[in-house]
Amino acid sequence: MTEDQPKSPRLRLGTRNSPLAMAQAVETRARLCAAHGWSEDAVELVPVLASGDKVLDRPLSEIGGKALWTKELDQWLGEGRIDLSVHSAKDVETIRPDAFHFPAFLPRADRRDSLVGAASIDAIPQGAVVGTSAPRRAAQLLNLRPDCKVVMFRGNVATRLGKLQAGEADVTFLAAAGLERLGQSAAGMPLGEDAWIPAAAQGVIAIECRADDAQTTALLAAIDHTPTRAELEAERALLAELGGTCHSPIAVLCVLAEGELTMRAALFSPDGTERIEGSTRFSPGDNAPVEALAADLLARATPGIAPHFRRQK
């Protein structure tokens, strides 16, 4: 670089310090640097220890929910100690502080859940112990296999695989995208979306910055993936309309094809005995059908489902 050439701006990218979060941060840095022709040292990775990584012996729903993945990063971002933060989109609360926004969603990876320890839901041994701390996974599993027993499983991918190997459960679920990003896809069997509906926002890396930071916003816009944004915004709109929380067993599949979005959603009672489902088709950016789907699901919610959802209005 000659003296009259401008130096690349140095951005501080905040991330949780788990192996998967760091892999997502590395991918974000690579895409950002490629888009702007920077060397990798233009983006500094700043690991931040999240509360959700500190407390592993209780379900998230008991100790603060999804905010435990974001509050430290939010604090650092708000204080200007980092310029942007990277998240697994499914771990981000539906309602976010007005001080922040998402200028970029990276192209969606595999949105499916992977089953670890069995080749399919039907192949899980009778009466098996299934490890998961996700209400959606637990309820959907019990809806299909009421003979199984669910036990709480938390921790990063390596921790959960270690617990499985130690015999704390017979099978568990992990996001296929997470296994792929860690080079461990062979550890699990992806579940078909017809029979097993994934989580809203699963497989997506979300990048956040301060809403008043025009420079960083403009830099991040270069790596935003429009089809992924269309799916994510629709899924998050549904969650907001349903008023779901980290306690709410909800599964959502939203796919953009040929300019139209198709959304399928299922709500469960926590014990899996009750299930309702609905679907809709709509154009990107048109949330009226999403709102109508949410209203229909809430209107049909059974006594075991209704208490776990509430409108945010």
Burial class (CB in 10 A: 0-12, 13-18, 19+), 150: buried
| Strand-strand pairing, 43-48 and 11-16 | parallel
Burial class (CB in 10 A: 0-12, 13-18, 19+), 268: buried
Question: Catalytic site residue 271?
Answer: no
Contact partners, residue 178, CB within 8 Å, separation at least 6: 20, 88, 157
- What is the distance between the alpha carbons of residues 264 and 249, in angstroms, rounded to a whole number? 14
- What is the distance between the alpha carbons of residues 215 and 146, in angstroms, rounded to a whole number? 52
- What is the distance between the alpha carbons of residues 73 and 78, in angstroms, rounded to a whole number? 8
The strand order across the sheet containing 11-16 reads 43-48, 11-16, 84-88, 205-210, 100-105
Choosing from 53, 74, 83, 91, the catalytic residue is: 91
In one-letter notation, the amino acid at residue 99 is A
- Of 243, 247, 233, nearest in space to 298 by CA: 243
Backbone angles phi, psi at 202, to 5 degrees: -65, 140
Q: At what angle do helices 226-242 and 288-300 cross, to 10 degrees?
A: 40
Quote the distance between the C-alpha of residue 215 and its chain's center: 27
Backbone angles phi, psi at 104, to 5 degrees: -150, 135
Name the residues annotated as catalytic. 91
